[in-house]
Amino acid sequence: MSLTLAPEMRAVLDRLLAEDGVQPDPTLLPPAEGRAAAEAANRRWNGPEPAMARELRVETPDGRRAHVFLPAGDLGREAILFIHGGGWAFCSAATHEGAARQLAVETGAAVVTFDYRLAPEHPYPAGLEDCLAVWAGREAIFAGRRWSVAGDSAGAHLAVALMFRLNGRDLPAAGLLFYGVFDADFESPSYVEVAEGPGLTRAKMQRYWDFYTPAAGRLEDPCLTPARAPDALLAALPPLYLNAAGIDPLRSDSERFSARLAALGRTDRFDIVPGVVHGFMQMSRWLPQSVAAYRRAGEVFRTLT
């Protein structure tokens, strides 16, 4: 795998450096400060485009506020619960509004985003329990739709953990998993190759893990390290689409998870997007590879459901 940045990715990183300068590592700041920095950095990717046919703010049965994006051409058949990333500690439904819009347009489904409790104040399994509560109450948001789940980074991790916890009952129709966290092996090929970034680094990812849960037991709990889950849990998952960024410490996580699934004879789809860094799908306003990745996810979603 080449670790050369695509010209478009390099241009985005150069533009960010010119606009913001060198920013402090949010994982080294007090949680509230780190969270504010992550919010500021990520909200830049939001905007009124792509426009939706309707946008709703609703309250879930567990009292959580959710944002619903309904694209033009929505036929009232499909809905996707989108779980935002941010290392289980940062970001929000608001930082991923642009992602939700893109996902709605390309899949043709209603996309529902929400906030869950964040580490380190609320470590595992608090955020996962919030995801399960929203999933259980989804019919109060839209009754009669076929529901799938999606997530990016730690959100993809939570999406898989949610499906494991459902234990074969009331499962999503499909899962869309973008550059997810599926293992905790900091000596994997990509963790070694991309240890210093650009973007996400091995040290940052280690701190995210420490925020979320102690090291003891990580490798034994499939809801923490899905790439090590028993075959039976993996076989019971609905059809999946996975992608990974080529220049990302987490690339090997997706490669290993995909290999485990394929070894069971499953036909899940997996793409590696070369020349881009972790989080690239947040950058659809400036990065053509991001737009193409959503388009690809939409194409596959229609075959999975």
> Would you name the residues annotated as active-site residues?
153, 248, 278
Show Cβ contacts of residue 165 under 8 Å, excluding neighbours closer than 6 positions: 128, 132, 223
- Looking at this protein, which amino acid is placed at residue 199? G
Rounded CA Rg of the chain = 18
Neighbours of 36 (CB within 10 A): 14
- Please name which of 109, 261, 104 lies closest in space to residue 180, comparing C-alpha atoms: 261
Q: Rounded to an integer, what is the distance from CA 125 to the centroid of its chain?
A: 17
Element spanning 89, H or E = none
Q: Rounded to an integer, what is the distance from CA 136 to the centroid of its chain?
A: 20
Neighbours of 175 (CB within 10 A): 26
CA 159, 225, 34, 118 torsion-angle sign: positive
**How many CA atoms lie less than 13 Å away from 34 in the CB half-sphere?**
20
